[in-house]
Amino acid sequence: MYSRPIFGVFWMIVTGLLFVGVTVIVKYLGTSMPAAQAAFLRYILGLVLLLPMLGMFWRTVLTKELWTLFAARGFCHSIGVALWFYAMARIPIADVTAMNYLSPVYVTLGAAFFLGEKLALRRMLAVLAALIGAMIILRPGFREIGAGHLAMLGAALVFAGSYLLAKKVSDMVSPSVVVVMLSIFVTIGLAPMAWVVWVPTSGSDIMLLFVVAVLATLGHYTMTLAFAAAPIAVTQPVTFLQLVWAVLLGSVIFAEPVDIWVVSGGLVIIFAISFISWREAYLKRRHLTPPSLATKV
């Protein structure tokens, strides 16, 4: 099934660069625009990029169960995206990137509690290691934990819920329909939040958010190319490069200090996720834990 691991690694590197581009632009926008408004504009602008998929969407018969699942996922993802934009504007890029790796860990736990997956001892130890990594990043009692850190913890959690729902609907309809429905429901979900905090928006900010939409859409596409070329056990470890790039760009562009504790904690989480992915591949099970990059906006 997989015969091009080098291509898989290449496309995963490209995916990481595209998503880092997303974080840099959102960081640049900062607090000039409320998080919910920025997230809403990103998604409504991104709908234009999904027009080629509408043909398959209209040919799909959607049951009441599917509508309910899509709505539930849209609700979770809307909250996650708003929290992610909020955190991105307030804490260093490296912190956001490292804590974002927690989402696959939450998915592993959620799959055990809600989907009946067996939580073997090795997976439990890997999850524990990832949580220790999170504590290394946050260092409660040794550093101030701001609203941005709490928002990122919440974002990783609700993103996990979103991808558990994605797992369920992906068994029922095509990936294109899943993507289109997510974008539609997230746009709807963010609309009232954006309306409450709406402020005048400049043309340059709208253009930057359109670039964010393009980069994020391309990132999801290149990620599918990576998964088609190589198993997740090969592509997952490559995601650690995103943390490296986030640290470098945060330091060079935004003058953010390099926090060795954040880097160390992020690496612990990445190694734990990589072990879970490798173990799943070794046992030839179907992967329910998505890559950390999949939680990006």
Q: Give the list of residues 6+ apart from residue 64 with CB closer than 8 angstroms, or none.
A: none
Domain ranges of the chain: 5-295
Q: HSE (CB half, 13 Å, CA atoms) of 177?
A: 17
For the stretch 238-279, pLDDT in tens is 777 888 888 888 888 888 888 888 889 888 888 887 777 666
Confidence of residue 115 (pLDDT cuts 50, 70, 90): low
> What average pLDDT does this structure show over 165-183?
80
Per the rule left: phi > 0, alpha: psi between -120 and 50, beta: everything else, 291 is beta
Residue 143, classed as helix, strand or coil, is strand
290, pLDDT greater than 60: no
| Dist. CA 216–CA 52, nearest whole Å | 16
Confidence of residue 287 (pLDDT cuts 50, 70, 90): very low
| DSSP annotation string for 239-281 | GHHHHHHHHHHHHHHH-----HHHHHHHHHHHHHHHHHHHHHH
State the pTM of this model: 0.82
52, pLDDT greater than 80: no
Q: What share of the chain is helix, strand, coil (3-state, %, to 5)?
A: 80, 0, 20
What is the rounded radius of gyration, in angstroms, for the C-alpha atoms of the chain?
A: 18
| Dist. CA 143–CA 136, nearest whole Å | 11
232, pLDDT greater than 70: no
